[in-house]
Amino acid sequence: MTRASLALDGFMRSRIDLRGRGALCLVGCSALYGCAPDDLHASPDEIARAKQVYTQCVEDELGIEVEAIDIAANGDITVQFGEGYTAEGEARAISICEPRIRSVLEPGGVSVLGPPANLGQPGSDRDLEELLAERARLGFEGAIIAEYQGERRISKGFGELTPGSMRVPDAETAFDCGSIMKEVTAATIFVLEEAGALSREQTLGEFFEQAPSVWRSVTLDQVITHRAGFGEYHDTEGDFQEMDRATAMEAIFAQEPRFAPGTDHAYSNSGYSVLAAVIETVTGEDYRSAVRRRVFEPLGMSRSGFYGEPLWDDRNVAVGRGALVYAGNDPSRWPPPTWALMGNGGLVSTLDDLMALAKAFDDDRLFRTETREAFRREQVAGSIGGRPVIGYAGGNDFGFNALVGQVVGDSTYVVAASHALLPVTAEILGIEVLQVLYGDEIVLPERD
């Protein structure tokens, strides 16, 4: 399992509640949400795929076991959750995973994340143009750039930076990139290891004297790969909760392990805040300064930074339109990340900068060959055209979603970002573009 597993249905974490528009009904752990049935007449194959999409979304992304699921031909869904269930998780299942089922079942709708129309042959410019035109019709708002075997094939923006602005996003537009911050945190750890400042085999007990015995034997590598057993979050009020480092570490180490370290996998934001604290301890620097000096600056990522930094005075910043609103949903004006987000989120970047990051994982600007190969082993998320695919993404409740996908050894990269919660997100469009480019479907590894 990787730090960010590329899944057929993406790894979107943004939320949207479509129940008011006749979306699907969900039953879970005695909580019933009623809605009027849609005029759906799904086939058995469509129902089977919808079950797969929903289950994968809930289990892989939300960390909640699906014990039983039934989807009727009219789209009604009944779900029984198991281990990992919380009321918040149920709400996220409604807002994140149900809209994806709708894209599979909706009558007359456009199928997303299915086989490309040009299956069996590499995509032409016309194939790409048709896909992008259809996704624009569905309301995609954001931007995408793509290179195929070294040739730039797409550089296009959609919608407006903010309603009424008439300014279209582009490759230099700053977007909130959510959990892509985790890739940067992990890369910083690998850079420090290559410099001899630490080893991924070191345990947390070597860095945190206050760590309880249950966490002291956990290795950095287990934290990087989400195999430490930490919970998903350590905050209680959301991304902008006031929290200093000491409070965060106390809350994280007070968690009960979800499993014995190294025996299972569970996505964890908390673990990456622990890695951020390790980076500060080893470097003697503020986490953000350490990341900037070791990743952003060497790669020329001059428009990449953190909430509230004065890097985007040109106002080429996408304003999010999502389920929640905070300070106008302008990430350039949000307060600097606290330790609720440190190491796991808070990244603001552009498609050009994210492309530079992706390409650096293919060359020598960050790592030597052996380090790069070790880093990639934790990134590979599937394959296409017989080649490994790397994928990582992030998003939040404020409308933002971003994806970086690349095909190892083939000079192919797709980078996308979106800033509105609509049926097509950056993750969906990015995966679809990759499939059109190759005329093939992404093959996913078996779950462990």
Determine which helix (DSSP H) or strand (DSSP E) holds 402, and give its type and residue range: strand 401-407
Q: What are phi and psi of 125, to 5 degrees?
A: -60, -35
Domain match, 72 and 197 both: no
Domain match, 101 and 192 both: no
Question: For residues 105-138, b (16+ Cβ closer than 10 Å) or e, as one string?
Answer: bbeeeeebbeebebeeeebeeebbeebbeebeee
Mean pLDDT of 263-291: 97
Give the structural domain span for 49.
19-105
Does the structure show a pLDDT above 90 at 47?
no
Mean pLDDT of 117-126: 97
Residue 165 lies in a domain: no
Residue 112 lies in a domain: no
Q: What are phi and psi of 215, to 5 degrees?
A: -110, -10
Helix axes 426-438, 125-137, angle to 10 degrees: 160
Residue 406 lies in a domain: no
Mean pLDDT of 94-112: 64
Does the structure show a pLDDT above 80 at 125?
yes
As a whole number, the mean pLDDT across the chain is 86
DSSP string of 82-102, one letter each residue:
-TT--HHHHHHIIIIIHHHHH
Residue 268 lies in a domain: yes
Mean pLDDT of 410-438: 93
Domain match, 213 and 350 both: yes
Helices (H), 329-405: 351-360, 369-377
Q: Tokens 């016309």 appear where? A: 126
298-310: pLDDT as tens digits: 999 999 999 999 9
For residue 349, the cross-strand partners are 175
Residue 317 lies in a domain: yes
Choosing from 325, 345, 374, the residue where a domain stops is 374
Residues 6+ apart with CB under 8 A from 304: 296, 311, 347, 348, 349, 350, 353
Q: Contact at 8 Å (CB) between 171 and 143?
A: yes
Domain match, 101 and 183 both: no
Domain match, 192 and 69 both: no
pLDDT the model gives residue 45: 66
Does the structure show a pLDDT above 90 at 35?
no
Domain match, 94 and 181 both: no
β pairing state of 142-148 and 412-418? antiparallel
Domain match, 98 and 225 both: no
CATH of the domain at 288: 3.40.710.10
Band of pLDDT at residue 31, cut at 50, 70 and 90: very low
129-163: pLDDT as tens digits: 999 999 998 889 999 999 999 999 999 999 999 98
Does the structure show a pLDDT above 80 at 345?
yes
Other Cβ atoms less than 10 A from the Cβ of 201: the count is: 10
**Residue 440 zone, left/alpha/beta (φ > 0; ψ -120 to 50; rest):** beta
Does the structure show a pLDDT above 90 at 2?
no
pLDDT the model gives residue 50: 78
103 or 343: which carries more pLDDT confidence?
343
Domain match, 100 and 213 both: no
Residue 395 lies in a domain: no
**Residue 38 zone, left/alpha/beta (φ > 0; ψ -120 to 50; rest):** beta
Domain match, 91 and 182 both: no
Helix axes 245-253, 269-283, angle to 10 degrees: 130
Choosing from 350, 374, 398, the residue where a domain stops is 374
Domain match, 334 and 221 both: yes
Residue 314 lies in a domain: yes
366-381: pLDDT as tens digits: 999 999 999 988 777 7
pLDDT the model gives residue 421: 78
Domain match, 242 and 322 both: yes
Choosing from 105, 123, 145, the residue where a domain stops is 105
Mean pLDDT of 331-335: 96
74: which 2 tokens?
Answer: 């009219």
Domain match, 191 and 334 both: yes
Q: How many domains does the chain have?
A: 2
pLDDT the model gives residue 105: 67
Does the structure show a pLDDT above 80 at 37?
no
pLDDT the model gives residue 23: 22
Residue 424 lies in a domain: no
